Amino acid sequence: MKCILGVVLGIALCGVPAAMAQTAQESAACRGDVFRLCTAAQIALATVGDRHGIYACFKKHRHDLSKACDRVLKNHGY
């Protein structure tokens, strides 16, 4: 899972892959899920470019993601 969460990082700490087209709407769709489901350590590492923890968080909590964030990930092939 290369860059699942680059989108929100640009706007509020993590999101969809940096290599993918990113919009403010995509970022907003996942922002709440990041802060609700991921640990502070995962978020902190993401702020310096290490998004592996966020990838793991979203994978672990896939069934807990908001419909909007899940749709963003699916639209990007995840």
Concatenated DSSP letters for 43-56? HHHHHTT--HHHHH
Strand partners, 15: none
Residue 64: the pLDDT is 97
pLDDT greater at residue 44 or residue 78: 44
Query: Helix, strand, or coil here: 71?
Result: helix
pLDDT greater at residue 34 or residue 3: 34
Residue 14: the pLDDT is 45
CA distance 13 to 27: 9
**For the segment 33-70, what is each residue's pLDDT rounded down to a tens digit?**
999 999 999 999 988 988 888 889 999 999 999 999 99
Residue 51: the pLDDT is 83
Nearest to 19 by CA among 1, 41, 40: 1
